[in-house]
Amino acid sequence: MNLWQGILLGLVQGLTEFLPVSSDGHLAVIGHVTGVRTPGVFVEVALHVATLGSILVVYGGRFWRLSLDVLRRQPDALRYAGLLIVAMIPAGLVGIFLEDLIARAFDSLWAAGVGFLVTAAFLWSTKGKGPEGASQPTLGGAVLIGLAQALAPLPGVSRSGTTISSGLWVGLGAVAAADFSFLMAIPLIAGAGLVEARHASVDIGQVGAVPLLVGCLVAFSTGVFAIRFLVAMLRRGRFYAFAPYCVTVGILTLLYAALHG
């Protein structure tokens, strides 16, 4: 991996991991169109760890306060943590039992194109939703958020897009929906990194230490920016504004797939 590949992969990972436009979908499309692919599972793990660091910068204080309150057995914290766990179960089951199917989907630009359009539909469905609402979901709301998140392992389907949209559907306020989505992402991204790490061949010399470090720094810094920008858009009630971009990318991806087989 050379320096510019490291910068490009870090930029795509950092921005699209948190903006509701699907990081996996963009990486799949870039890989097919330009030939720039993530050079091995070890680099994927490193970029995931970098973006996990982005969430911890913005939400780490909230996450650790919640963890401490759970250990102190405070009722509100126990209930909130329980709702997070409920919402994480569907995605966990999909990751365990449909891993091969998901891996095959990443080889298909058709799957990525359709995924972008699915994301666009989720985002556009939030048009008219104001920033005010409940601070946490009901049990049924957490189940719905979890079911929506279960689509996210597919290329083109955004995890933040599906979870925040479904959070708004079940009556959460805009900031509360983002909080729930990103707090849920901390163990999910950490878990995904651990799963990928099982297959990682740690040979930094072969990958390139400098490009890898630069890529991780770019992913980390752009990830922090992306989270804060997304929350600002939510506060303004403009989460749906990302939908036209996803429609455009989805249509272009399908056209490219049709023209290039």
Say if CB 17 and CB 178 are below 8 A apart.
no
Instruction: Please classify residue 40 by burial: count the beta carbons closer than 10 Å to its beta carbon, then call 0-12 exposed, 13-18 middle and 19+ buried.
Output: middle
Q: Does the pLDDT at position 195 exceed 70?
A: no
Name the average pLDDT for the chain.
88
Of 34-48, 84-98, 208-222, which range is least confident?
34-48
What is the predicted pLDDT for the residue at 42?
66
The pLDDT, as a whole number, for residue 59 is 93
- First-to-final CA distance of the chain: 28
Question: Quick one: pLDDT at residue 199?
Answer: 58
CB atoms within 10 A of CB 58: 18
Q: What is the pLDDT of residue 131?
A: 82
Beta-strand ranges (E) seen in 137-253 are none
* pLDDT tens, residue by residue, 32-66: 787 766 666 567 778 878 998 999 999 999 999 99
Cα-Cα-Cα-Cα dihedral of 41, 46, 50, 51, to 10°? 10
Retrieve residue 2's tokens.
Answer: 């050379």
Task: Say what the pTM is.
Answer: 0.89
Tokens, residue 100: 């091969």
Query: What's the CA angle centered on 206, arms 205 and 212, to 5 degrees?
Result: 70
Q: What are phi and psi of 76, to 5 degrees?
A: -65, -40
> What is the pLDDT at residue 36?
63
Helices (H) and strands (E) in the chain, counts: 12, 0
What is the per-residue pLDDT across 177-192, written as a single tens digit (0 to 9) for each? 999 999 998 887 787 7
Distance CA 49, CA 12 (A): 15
Burial of residue 101 (CB within 10 Å: 0-12, 13-18, 19+) is exposed
DSSP label at residue 74: -
pLDDT tens readout for residues 122-178: 999 999 888 889 999 999 999 999 999 999 888 899 999 999 999 999 999 999 999
Average pLDDT over residues 72-92: 93
pLDDT category at 203 given cuts 50, 70, 90 is: low
Question: What is the C-alpha to C-alpha distance for residues 226 and 212, in angstroms, rounded to an integer?
Answer: 21
Whether residue 30 contacts residue 236, with contact meaning beta carbons closer than 8 Å, is answered with: no
pLDDT in the model for residue 32: 79
Give percent above pLDDT 70 in the chain: 91
Dist CA 186 CA 58 (whole Å): 11
Distance CA 59, CA 244 (A): 28
For residues 71 and 62, give the distance between their C-alpha atoms in angstroms, rounded to a whole number.
14
pLDDT tens for residues 16-25?
Answer: 888 999 988 8
